[in-house]
Amino acid sequence: MLTLGIESSCDETAAAVLEGESTLLSNIIWDQTRIHSHYGGVVPELAGRSHVERIHLVIQQALEQAGVRLSDIDLIATTQGPGLIGSLLVGLNTAKAIAYSHDLPLVGINHLEGHLLAIFLQEPVEFPFICLIVSGGHTDLIRADGFSRYRLLGRTRDDAAGECYDKVAKMLGLGYPGGPIIDKMARSGNKTAVRFPRSYLEKGSLDFSFSGLKTSVKNYIARHPDQEKADVSASFQEAVVEVLTQKALLACRMENVPRLVVSGGVAANSRLRESIFSESATNKIQAWFPKPLFCTDNAAMIACAGYYRYKHVPDAVNGSRNMDAKANLNF
Ligand code: KG4
Ligand code: ZN
C-alpha cells in the first residue's frame, strides 16, 4: 500500500511517499526559512503564497524520488490542522484535487497526531505511552492508548516551548528560527551562569507556562547587555529542559506508564534528548525520540498517521473530500 502524505501547516511545504506502515520511499521538504528570516518570524501571507508556488513541484519530486506515479498511489493523507489557515488550505485543496481526479481515498490528519506517531516511522512503540509534543505552536502531554485513542493530560497555558526559543533568540539577536541556533550556541555556554525561573504551577499539574521565563530573560538581557550570549542561551535552555523533563516524567508516574515518546521541533534539541534519556533511565522509563528530521515538520509523519488512521478508524475517509481546514484543531 502506497500513501502520499502532504504537509503545509506552517512554513514547510512537504510531501512524502510511504510504503506500508514504515518504508519511506521519499521525503521532500521545501523549507521557507529564507523567506521569513528577514522578518524574524513566519509571515502568514508569505507562507501561503510560497506554498502555492511550491506544492506541485514538491509532490512531483516526492513521486519521482519514490519511483512511482500518482496512478500507483493508494491513499492520500493531508494535514487538516492546526496551523496557519492560508497555509493549511494549500495542502488540503491540492490533496482534495488529487483525490477527486484519481478517485483515491483521502484522510485528513491532525498535525499533532503526525508528531505523536512520527516515531512509528522508526519503530512501533507499545501502547499505552505518554507523548510530550514540543513544537513552535504546542507544548502538550498526551496519553496514547491506541491509534486514534488519545487523551490530553496537560498543555501550555501561554507560550509554546519552541516559541519561547524563537523569542529569546530574537532578543539575543541570533536569528530565526531560534531553536537550532540556541541549541548550538548553548554548547559553548555555562548552563549555571544565570538561574532563570522554572515554572511548575500547582503541585501535580501537568500544564506548562513559559511566558514568565521569557520575560525574565528579557529583563536580564536589558540589565546585563555584556553577558556572554552563550551563557544566557545555555542558562535559558536549562530552565526549559528541566521543566519539560520533570513534567514528562511526572506524567509517566501519575499515569503509571513507563514509556515516553518526545516529538515535535524542539525534540530535535540535543540537551533535551540528553536530559530525558538520562532521567528516564534513572526512573526505569523507556524513552524514544524520532530522528531530528522526523521531529521538525515533515510529510512522512503525516503519511504514517494517515496509514494508521485509514487502517484503524472505519469512517476515516467518509466526507473527507468536503472537509475544511481547521486552524485550531486540538486533541
Ligand atoms: O514541529 P515544528 O517544526 O513546527 C511546528 O509544528 O511548530 O517546530 C518548530 C519549532 C521552532 O520553534 C524551532 O525553533 C524549534 O521547533 N526547534 C528547536 C530545535 N529545532 C527546531 N528548538 C530547540 N532546539 C532545536 N534543535
Ligand atoms: Zn509541527
- Collapsing DSSP to helix, strand or coil, 312 comes out as helix
Matching fold, domains 2-116+295-322 and 125-289: yes
Distance from C-alpha of 297 to C-alpha of 7, rounded to nearest angstrom: 8
- Mention the CATH class of domain 2-116+295-322: alpha beta
9 close to 82: Cβ distance less than 8 angstroms: yes
Q: Which of 286, 291, 314 has the alpha carbon at shortest distance from 301? A: 291
- Collapsing DSSP to helix, strand or coil, 219 comes out as helix
Q: Please report the pLDDT score of residue 216 as a whole number.
A: 98
Percent of the chain surpassing pLDDT 70: 100
Query: Can the peptide bond before residue 82 be classed as cis, meaning omega within 30 degrees of 0?
Result: yes
Task: Find the 42 Cα to ligand 1 centroid distance in Å.
Answer: 13
**Closest ligand 1 atom to Cα of 166:** 14
Question: Is residue 220 pLDDT above 90, yes or no?
Answer: yes
Q: Please report the pLDDT score of residue 312 as a whole number.
A: 97
Q: Please report the pLDDT score of residue 330 as a whole number.
A: 86
Question: Is residue 251 pLDDT above 90, yes or no?
Answer: yes
Task: Find the 137 Cα to ligand 1 centroid distance in Å.
Answer: 9
- Residue-wise pLDDT for 65-97, tens only, equals 999 999 999 999 999 999 999 999 999 999 999
- Residue-wise pLDDT for 112-138, tens only, equals 999 999 999 999 999 999 999 999 999
Question: Is residue 10 pLDDT above 90, yes or no?
Answer: yes
Would the pTM count as exceeding 0.75? yes
Distance from C-alpha of 78 to C-alpha of 88, rounded to nearest angstrom: 9
- Cβ–ligand 1 distance for 136 under 6 Å, the answer yes
Question: Is residue 40 pLDDT above 90, yes or no?
Answer: no
Mean pLDDT of 276-301: 98
Mean pLDDT of 106-114: 98
- Cβ–ligand 1 distance for 5 under 6 Å, the answer no
From the CA of 37, the nearest ligand is 1
Domain boundaries, the chain: 2-116+295-322, 125-289
- Cβ–ligand 1 distance for 32 under 6 Å, the answer no
- Cβ–ligand 1 distance for 266 under 6 Å, the answer yes
- Residue-wise pLDDT for 143-153, tens only, equals 999 999 999 99
CATH no., domain 125-289: 3.30.420.40
- Cβ–ligand 1 distance for 79 under 6 Å, the answer no
Distance from C-alpha of 13 to C-alpha of 90, rounded to nearest angstrom: 9
Confidence of residue 221 (pLDDT cuts 50, 70, 90): very high
Mean pLDDT of 245-268: 98
Task: Find the 177 Cα to ligand 1 centroid distance in Å.
Answer: 8
Confidence of residue 331 (pLDDT cuts 50, 70, 90): confident
Distance from C-alpha of 57 to C-alpha of 15, rounded to nearest angstrom: 10
